[in-house]
Structure 1
Amino acid sequence: MKRLELTAAELLGVRFAHSPMAEVVTSTIALRGALWMYARWRDRVSCGVRRARLDTFWSVFDTPTGAVPDFLSPVPGVPRPSLDDELRVIAATPLDRVEAELAAAGVPVRDPAALRSSLVSEIRRYYQLAVAPLMPRLRAAADGEIAARALAAADHGPRSLLSDLHPRLHWDPDALRLDYLKDGEHPPWSLDGHRLALLPSGFAGPVAWVVAAPDGRALWFPPRAYGRLWSAPEPPPAALSSLLGATRAAVLTMLSVPASTGDVASSLGLAPATASHHLTALRDAGLLAAHRTGRRLQYHRTDLGDRLCQAA
């Protein structure tokens, strides 16, 4: 168990971001694991990753202790950093920190400067092979999670940002408590003057992670309905189809993961104007909400939409 005491000011300072490096780190764990939702992705990328001969990459991401060095998890300073933004931070990591964190993870280092340079190059290659094709979908899921939590905070207050973030995360009663999968106490956790960054990650699986690095504090967690990121759209329940009509029920069902009008039209074989008509009707009924990401308008289910799908 790990506890974080949060003052009212610290709770109000909580922020969200989506980190490509968080997806890189968690995806390496998913690639080496056996969770069912990543099976098709593992089958698709494993061969290419093996052929890429990422020796330095795997020596650092698959360490003898199982720990990934903190310098590979820079806490984003902006909500939507690019991989290049984060790699610049990693490339500027002081060499004594690189050496110390790798040594703590059981990785011997003869030339930390050469290792750091090679690592940045290999992270980029791994990302292009394993993560980049999924990044629009991963980012849409993260954006939907962030938008839904912003709405909840507006309706129910700032504590709702964290109240149901993860099944192993609880208020106790003045502190945030993270119950780990393994028993035992863990070192105390403090913000130490930093703002807490919440980073939804589609590759996080069923786990939440704490990142306590010199440059900030973060909590990685899976966005809602993360398992559906990796599966084909499910047919809507018959009861939902009877209530809404088959097409609108299909639209509402697929929006467990946020999507644009074009995404909905493509997935369901609809004309864009038809998809837009159904999305507008569902939004007007309070079952969907929309948020703008750049030039794209992304739709996601509201709490009412979630409850209706679960009830059906």
Structure 2
Amino acid sequence: MGTLRIHFDAEDLTRVTLADEPDPLWEMIFTRFRFRDRVRSLTFRPWFEEVREPARTAGMRRGAHVLDVLVPAGPYFPDFLTPYEGLRGLDSGLAALLRTPKRRLAAELRLLARHRTLPRWVRPIAEGNALALEHLGAALRDYHETAIAPFRELVGAAVDADRACRTRALLRGGVEGLFAGFAPLMRWSPPVLETEYVVDQDLVLGGRGLRLVPSYFCQRAPLTLADPELPPVLIYPIEQRHRWRPAVNRRAGLDALMGANRSAVLHALGRSATTTQLARMLGISATAASRHATALREAGLVDTRRDGNAVLHTLTRLGTALLQGSLPQGSTGGPAGADRHGGTENGGTENGGL
């Protein structure tokens, strides 16, 4: 196991940004890694069981085959599969992928061929054949619509919760506080951010800054691009605790106690959220989200405070106890709990089909 070392200068520290959402192209790649895990995490099993339903597998099959060829187990996969534009959504990412210059396609697929034997259908892609690239884009879109899009609410809620924690760390301690909050996943030894990696690699930012991108399906270790000349990004796994779903039987009991809508708000606030994030997670208006949060605050279940231009809602100890089905200790009020190239991601034997 090696180490990724990301070198910052003073300008880089002023240009660290945190993405609002996962990158859909990276997420597709990570789902293939999850299919290859020898031991599957309990938090991914509900997703895995749903995507393995016969009605879904047909839509995934072509994209799964493409990804398993272009993103094999090993130390490398092509950067053109994860263009920076993917941070603006699937459409932008796929459009950028299809615009990849022929020279770059050829170079990156040549490098991939050093690590594995490629089938014949890859050659037209390497040559920049427009039809082959369109088929590639269509296969990836179909895969996304089956394997990721149906879980948008689940993924969005978990990522929003993680991002809220990262944002609070940034507000309290600046960039150093943000980096310190990633321990033990990453280690901040100014001016270098380190993490375990499949190979020893140094990424010198040189004033370009760094885009941190949360991922639901990434696990164990962050990943970055193979080419250090591309815009720097670091895709990191969200904390495992944010991926857990609430227990179904407890949720039903709270629904009966306080009504389905307010119960849903309480469960969503198991992960701190702003009013806007809460509305997005539950598919309700911001006004309705604010109204429900106010009612829960008046009942002593939620603490609300202004966070810049937003209003952040956090469960109190009493709210946490109610959500978890246990009696609170002490006070009933107050905030709760005041590969790339990656072998770590990409290793393992594929045992899941698809």
* Larger mean Cα displacement after TM superposition, 131-140 or 118-127: 131-140
Quote how far apart the aligned CAs of 1:298 are: 7.7
Residues 228 and 256 in structure 1, CA contact (< 8 A), matched pair in contact too: yes
Partners of 1:110 and 1:162 in 2: CA distance: 42
Which is higher, the Rg of structure 1 or of structure 2? Answer: 2
Report the 3-state secondary structure (helix = DSSP H, G, I; strand = E; otherwise coil) of the residue aligned with 1:137.
helix
Alpha carbons of structure 1 residues 153 and 254: separation in structure 2 relative to 1, 3 Å: closer
* 1:36 equivalenced with 2:66 (yes/no): no
TM-score, with structure 1 as normaliser? 0.74
* 1:74 equivalenced with 2:83 (yes/no): yes
Residues 140 and 298 in structure 1, CA contact (< 8 A), matched pair in contact too: no
1:241-280 paired onto structure 2 within 5 Å? 251=266, 255-256=270-271, 258=273, 260=278, 273-274=291-292, 276-279=294-297
Aligned equivalent of 1:111:
124
Quote how far apart the aligned CAs of 1:140 are: 3.6
Residues 210 and 234 in structure 2, CA contact (< 8 A), matched pair in contact too: yes
Partners of 1:298 and 1:115 in 2: CA distance: 47
Quote how far apart the aligned CAs of 1:153 are: 2.0
* 1:197 equivalenced with 2:227 (yes/no): no
TM-score, with structure 2 as normaliser? 0.66
Residues 161 and 242 in structure 2, CA contact (< 8 A), matched pair in contact too: no
Aligned equivalent of 1:93:
100
Query: For residue 95 of structure 1, what is the amino acid of its counterpart?
Result: K
Q: How many residues align?
A: 282
Query: For residue 162 of structure 1, what is the amino acid of its counterpart?
Result: F
Quote how far apart the aligned CAs of 1:166 are: 4.7
Report the 3-state secondary structure (helix = DSSP H, G, I; strand = E; otherwise coil) of the residue aligned with 1:205.
coil
Quote how far apart the aligned CAs of 1:218 are: 0.9
* 1:154 equivalenced with 2:184 (yes/no): no
1:1-312 paired onto structure 2 within 5 Å? 1-17=3-19, 18=21, 19-33=23-37, 34-46=40-52, 47-48=54-55, 50-52=57-59, 53-54=61-62, 57-63=66-72, 65=74, 67-76=76-85, 81-105=88-112, 106=116, 107=118, 109-112=122-125, 113=129, 114-180=131-197, 186-213=200-227, 214-224=229-239, 226-233=240-247, 251=266, 255-256=270-271, 258=273, 260=278, 273-274=291-292, 276-279=294-297, 284=303, 299=313, 305-307=335-337
Which structure has more RCO (C-alpha within 8 Å, separation ≥ 6)? 2
* Larger mean Cα displacement after TM superposition, 276-285 or 125-134: 276-285
